[in-house]
């Protein structure tokens, strides 16, 4: 994790070399907000059609026995078909997260494992995405994106949301959706 943060700070340091007409945006993913996950993204223009997006999210909450604790980062290099921060883009993203989840309610689409078990671990990987940004006002935009990719998940499995006896220590390869966002954006020049 420390290496990831050092790498991101290094990249941001390189961006300051070309400071004239540089655009920076701050954003919040409304889908994360709906799950009580605090999040903040910073997107920096690298060139006329290239940006670097660095969203970070954190959820420290525990509701009764249900857990959705996690933090994650998903930097993405984007190519815009029109110009930076405007219309359609494609992206190449990486991701890393630590998690402690389980004990979820018996809702539709929630697996029995997520209701009765707890999973604690980390994941990393990458993928491709596509998205679109709609300009609302001079500095405000709305952006939607989806992505597909790969994640390597390393985790410990526990028999219930509050139990401490580990059942197994395992890993899993995942291929599928790795990104979904509907973000409100404020552009800083």
Checking if the pLDDT of 71 tops 60, the result is yes
Nearest to 70 by CA among 41, 99, 49: 99
Look at the pTM and tell me if it is higher than 0.85: no
What does the pLDDT read at residue 131?
Answer: 98
Length of the chain, in residues: 189
pLDDT in tens, 76-97: 999 999 999 999 999 999 999 9
Separation CA 33–CA 17 (nearest Å): 34
Name the CATH topology of 21-188. Answer: Porin (2.40.160)
Structure tokens at 10: 């290094």
The residue extents of the domains of the chain are: 21-188
Interior angle at CA 142, CA 137 and CA 148, nearest 5? 155
The first and second tokens of residue 142, run together, are 């709305």
Confidence of residue 19 (pLDDT cuts 50, 70, 90): very low
Backbone torsions φ then ψ of 13, nearest 5 degrees: -65, -40
Q: For the chain, what percent of residues have pLDDT higher than 70?
A: 87
In 3D space, the residue among 7, 125, 145, 10 whose CA is nearest the CA of residue 74 turns out to be: 125
């Amino acid at each position: 994790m420390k290496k990831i943060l050092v790498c991101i700070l290094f990249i941001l340091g390189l961006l300051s070399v070309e400071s004239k007409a540089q655009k920076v945006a701050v954003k919040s993913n409304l889908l994360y907000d709906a799950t009580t996950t605090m999040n903040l993204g910073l997107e920096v223009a690298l060139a006329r059609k290239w940006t670097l997006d660095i969203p970070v999210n954190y959820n420290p909450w525990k509701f009764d026995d249900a857990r959705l604790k996690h933090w994650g980062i998903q930097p993405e290099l984007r190519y815009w078909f029109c110009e930076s921060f405007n219309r359609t883009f494609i992206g190449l993203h990486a991701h890393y997260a630590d998690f402690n989840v389980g004990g979820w309610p018996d809702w539709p689409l929630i697996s029995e494992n997520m209701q009765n078990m707890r999973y604690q671990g980390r994941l990393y990987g990458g993928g491709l995405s596509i998205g679109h940004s709609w300009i609302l006002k001079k500095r405000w935009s709305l952006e939607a994106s989806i992505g597909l990719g790969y994640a390597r998940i390393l985790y410990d499995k526990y028999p219930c949301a509050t139990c401490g006896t580990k059942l197994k220590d395992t890993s899993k390869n995942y291929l599928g959706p790795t990104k979904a966002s509907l973000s409100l954006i404020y552009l800083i020049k």
